[in-house]
């Protein structure tokens, strides 16, 4: 599984380095969180859905065994940007621009 992750990351890096092959914003966001783009609507184990890829044509899936955790895994909850957090923490929130809060 780690070999697959490394090869995919290398391929994505090479695609970014080649001029004219820029990726859509949602794909770049997925790759930024060490995710992969799958054609399926649901992600295979041990991946969890985290937004979209390829201009909403694919699902962004993040490896749940990596060091990147979703907000709910860390005991928080995702809130929209207009809500102020009393205590903010690091965690991934699938909706764009949302924050991870432990207390609102």
Asked if residue 63 is part of any domain, the answer here is: yes
Residues 52 and 27 in one domain: yes
Asked if residue 28 is part of any domain, the answer here is: yes
Residues 75 and 48 in one domain: no
Asked if residue 6 is part of any domain, the answer here is: no
- Does residue 27 have a cis peptide bond before it, meaning omega lies within 30 degrees of 0? no
* Element (DSSP H or E) covering residue 104: none
Domain hosting 40: range is 23-68
Residues 40 and 27 in one domain: yes
pLDDT in tens, the chain (104 residues): 566 565 566 555 555 555 445 788 888 888 877 788 988 888 888 888 888 898 889 999 887 776 666 777 778 888 888 988 888 777 777 765 788 888 76
Residues 58 and 79 in one domain: no
Give per-residue pLDDT as tens, 63-91.
Answer: 777 666 677 777 888 888 898 888 877 77
Residues 58 and 84 in one domain: no
Residues 61 and 78 in one domain: no
Residue 87: CATH number of its domain? 2.20.20
**94: nearest Cα among 50, 32, 45, 43:** 50
What does the DSSP assignment read for 89-103? ---B-SSTT-EEEEE
What gap in Å lies between CA 16 and CA 81, rounded to an integer?
Answer: 30
What gap in Å lies between CA 93 and CA 100, rounded to an integer?
Answer: 7
């Amino acid at each position: 599984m780690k070999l697959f992750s490394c090869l995919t990351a290398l391929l994505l890096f090479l695609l970014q380095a080649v001029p004219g092959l820029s990726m859509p914003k949602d794909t770049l966001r997925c790759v930024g969180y060490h995710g992969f783009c799958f054609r399926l609507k649901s992600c295979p184990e041990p991946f969890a859905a985290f937004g979209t890829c390829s201009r909403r044509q694919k699902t962004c899936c993040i490896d749940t065994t990596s060091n990147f955790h979703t907000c709910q895994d860390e005991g928080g909850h995702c809130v929209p940007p207009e809500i102020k957090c009393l205590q903010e923490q690091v965690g991934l929130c699938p909706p764009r621009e949302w924050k991870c809060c432990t207390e609102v």
